[in-house]
Structure 1
Amino acid sequence: MSGRIVDYELYEVPPRWLFLRVETSDGVVGWGEPVVEGRAHTVRTAVEELLDTYLLGKSPDSIEDHWQTMYRGGFYRGGPVLMSAIAGIDQALWDIKGKRFGAPVYDLLGGTTRDRIRVYQWVGGDRPNRVADAAREKVDAGFTALKMNATAELRRVDSPAAIDEAVARLAAVRDAVGNEVDIGVDFHGRVSKPMAKRLAKALEPHEPMFIEEPVLPEHNDVLPEIARHTTIPIATGERMFSRWDFKEVFRAGSVDVIQPDLSHAGGITEVKKIADMAEAYDVAMAPHCPLGPIALASCIQVDAVSPNALIQEQSLDIHYNETSDVLDYLADASVFEYRDGYVDLPDGPGLGIDIDEEHVRAKAGNVDWHNPVWRHEDGSVAEW
């Protein structure tokens, strides 16, 4: 029997992350990353509520029961804030359990299905530009897969020129890196149903690895219609928060790659279940992770045990990380050393990372990051 949960601390750190430190009475420390980008204060309050009213004083051992209680113990459940709070706590509990047994989390989940996981690198920024030059630089640095935004803001029904610009950007990247490199294209929920159908058809000759979030999750019911217009694999899931959210897209059969976020979709416990559901439907998994090192370490633990894990997003040099980057908070950054487009599975106990607590405390403060609000030429709000 391990010690009891006796203390926790939350740290808002740049560029836009929230770290959770959980400590037990026998001195074991676990780390989690519970955050909704742009809503760190809100999620912080949810984490405090869950820990103060339920977890403090309890053993960290019964992770599944704790998960069920945090989720089902409230009459209102689900959604980004609660599920992100649960996710970060869940990560910390798994980190504690792994450290107790001196084993990586993936060993406690049944052992590995691979030795390493492929990673991709973002290029081009929010409003994609210089994508060909950036793509060439990243491929020269060893990456074999890239991702870029398809467009800036789009009108609900936009001009042929808007389609042409998106095609030209992808074509330029394809010309720059050749056919051996995979290129994911993120629609970012910016695209309406009619434009998604047009864009998918137009981009198809350049064979992207997938088109991501071709429509917002609230319009997942139209994904079968979009799928009928293209042979490009369809990816979605970063704004879906539980296995119940994913159930309908699996049933519809129109999604080829799911992208649950280990800091939004209930943590390691829940995403492992989502991955298993996906495997039954012959759907691959590529976890969403434009976040920090704790979230990435959690992703890799689930990738390690999931036969259908395809590729892993990671945030090194992503356009959001202007003040701090993913490696800055690690005592040993070599754990995320990318070679030949892959990252090896960490072999340390728990999440397999060593957080530099002194650096975390030095950087912690009131991090007031919010995503931009975009507007169309007529002044109406555009999807970011």
Structure 2
Amino acid sequence: MKVTGVKTTVVENEDPYIGGKYFLFLEVETDEGITGLGEKVTGSSFNNSGWKEFTSQIQLIHETCEAFLIGQDPFNIEKIWSDAYGSRHDYRHPSLHYTSVLAAIDMACWDIMGKATNQPAYNLLGGKFHEKLRAYAYMPSGWQDSPEKAGEIARQLLEEGNSACKLDPFTPLHPGPRDVGLPEIRKAANIFEAIRKEVGDDLEVGIGTHGQLTTYSAIRVANILEEYNPFWFEEPVPPENYDEMARVAAHTSIPIASGERLVTKYEFSQLIEKGAASIIQIDVGQAGGILEAKKVAAIAEAHYAMIAPHMYCGPIAAAAAIQVDTCSPNFVIQEANQGPLHKTIFKEPLAFENGFITPPTGPGLGVELDMDVMKSRIVS
């Protein structure tokens, strides 16, 4: 089997644009008539310049595919990925833009392999370890109004079948690192106290901060919130300094979570080996794809760390993350941010229900685009 061509498509998301205002899909064609789906994660909700902002990203996809994918056997993912990552001097230093191109190619190749063998990708990566996948999302808006309101929302989440959620208590977000004063920390503590009084220990609540704190502020926050047993403390400091994150980890019993802005096994190995995080939030669509994520999961497993993949992306990248979750022994929970389009764009939607995801059983990524829905959303 050989790859004969590639096609990119920009798809407009539906309001409220969860995962981005636009999605960038990749289709990889082969000489045996099998087509694989991939997605380049774009994070496009963070600017308003429209879909034409993707011109350079689309060009990068096509240049990379022409150089390293066309004419290759899609089963040879290791070689395709390695050649694309290491052959050009300017590309070897990883970046979210380039590794997300590699991820899109990787997803499409796994989709092709699965379709060619009539197996889900997770069966080709060790088989199904989990029958269902625990999931979480951000606590719905309104919890900021008062601690009592936060408690009410926590009760509602629990009654809907959820076992975990996440909130960002230090807003508005700041690029950081910044000091967080005692009044802000006490306000967050009051919210956690109200949640614990309402639902006890039945609902896990993670702290998100988007890396906006100084090391000493993060340690102070951890010391005050520790008694409420948060699920994790996510990116307590900017994620690029593993040593400072490890300092925070050494000062608290709250598990440190990080990884949504890291790429490749090389960056994750430093995070894990330095003891900077024990919950690894790899983004399969940004960090390099399914195979790279599986390698990161293995490094984490050897250090008794768990994976809780990040999911702020389109539906194809979400399907790829689920494949990794299903076959990874050290999977703990999957972020599950889904917008309306995620639920309609596939002929059989990904099954998110009562706080759990049911892995698809179809071949490859286990999903097939509904072309009637696609036609109404394509912008380029």
Q: Same fold (TM over 0.5)?
A: yes
- 8 Å Cα contact 1:67-1:86 kept in structure 2: yes
| Aligned positions, number | 357
* Partner AA of 1:249 in structure 2: L
| Residues in 1 aligned to 2:143 and 2:59: alpha-carbon distance in whole angstroms | 32
Equivalent residues in 2 for 1:147-296, closer than 5 Å: 147-152=166-171, 153=173, 156-296=178-318
Q: 1:193 to 1:325 in 2, by over 3 A?
A: farther
Q: Which residue of 2 aligns with 1:354?
A: 368
Deviates more, 1:203-212 or 1:9-18: 9-18
- Deviations along 1:132-169, one digit per CA (max 9) or x if unpaired, are 44333322221111111131136822322111122222
Give how far 1:66 is off. Answer: 0.7
Partner of 2:98: 82
CA distance in 1, matches of 2:76, 2:257: 33
Opposite residue 338 of structure 1, the aligned amino acid is E
Equivalent pair of 1:285/1:309 in contact (CA under 8 Å)? yes
Indicate whether 1:18 and 2:19 are aligned. no
What secondary structure, in the 3-state scheme, does the structure 2 residue paired with 1:122 have? coil
Distance 1:52 1:133, change over 3 A: farther
**Map of 1:143 onto structure 2:** 162
Equivalent position of 1:65 in the other structure: 79
Q: 1:172–1:325: structure 2 CA closer, same or farther, 3 Å change rule?
A: farther
Give the aligned partner of residue 33 of structure 2.
27
Q: Alignment partner for residue 344 of structure 1, among 327, 348, 358?
A: 358
Q: What SS does the aligned partner of 1:214 have?
A: coil
How many Å apart are 1:171 and its aligned residue? 2.5
The verdict on how the C-alpha distance between 1:172 and 1:5 changes in structure 2, with shifts beyond 3 A counting, is farther
Give the letter for the 2:61 counterpart. V
Q: Percent sequence identity over matched residues?
A: 33
Q: Comparing 301-310 with 270-279, which one deviates more in the overlay?
A: 301-310
1:126 deviation in Å?
A: 11
Contact 2:260 2:310 in 1 (8 A): yes
Q: TM-score, normalised by structure 1?
A: 0.87
**Unaligned runs of at least 5 residues, structure 2:** 47-52
Q: Give the aligned residue type for 1:201.
A: N
Q: Distance in 2 between matches of 1:176 and 1:204?
A: 18
Aligned-partner Cα distance in 2 for 1:125–1:23: 42
Q: Give 3-state SS (helix, strand or coil) of 2:40's partner.
A: coil
Q: Distance in 2 between matches of 1:174 and 1:29?
A: 49
Structure 1, residues 217-245: CA drift from partner, whole Å, max 9, x if none?
12221122212321100110001101110
Q: 1:188 to 1:63 in 2, by over 3 A?
A: same
CA contact (8 A) 2:27 2:108 kept: yes
2:350 pairs with 1:331: no
Structure 1 unmatched runs, 5+: 367-384
What is the distance in 1 between the residues matched to 2:142 and 2:372? 32
Structure 1 residues 181-218: Cα deviation after superposition (integer angstroms, max 9, x where no partner): 11111111122222111111111111111111111112
- SS of match in other structure, 1:161: helix
How far apart, CA to CA, are the structure 2 residues paired with 1:24 and 1:313?
Answer: 33
Query: Counterpart in 2 of 1:363?
Result: 377
Q: Could you tell me whether the CA contact under 8 Å between 1:259 and 1:285 is conserved in 2?
A: yes
CA drift at 1:251: 1.9
Deviation of 1:3 after TM superposition, in Å, equals 4.4
Q: Which 10-residue stretch deviates more, 54-63 or 181-190?
A: 54-63
Q: Which whole-Å deviations, capped at 9, do the CAs of 1:63-95 have from their partners, x for residues lacking one?
A: 111111111122122111100111111111101
Report SS of the residue matched to 1:87: helix
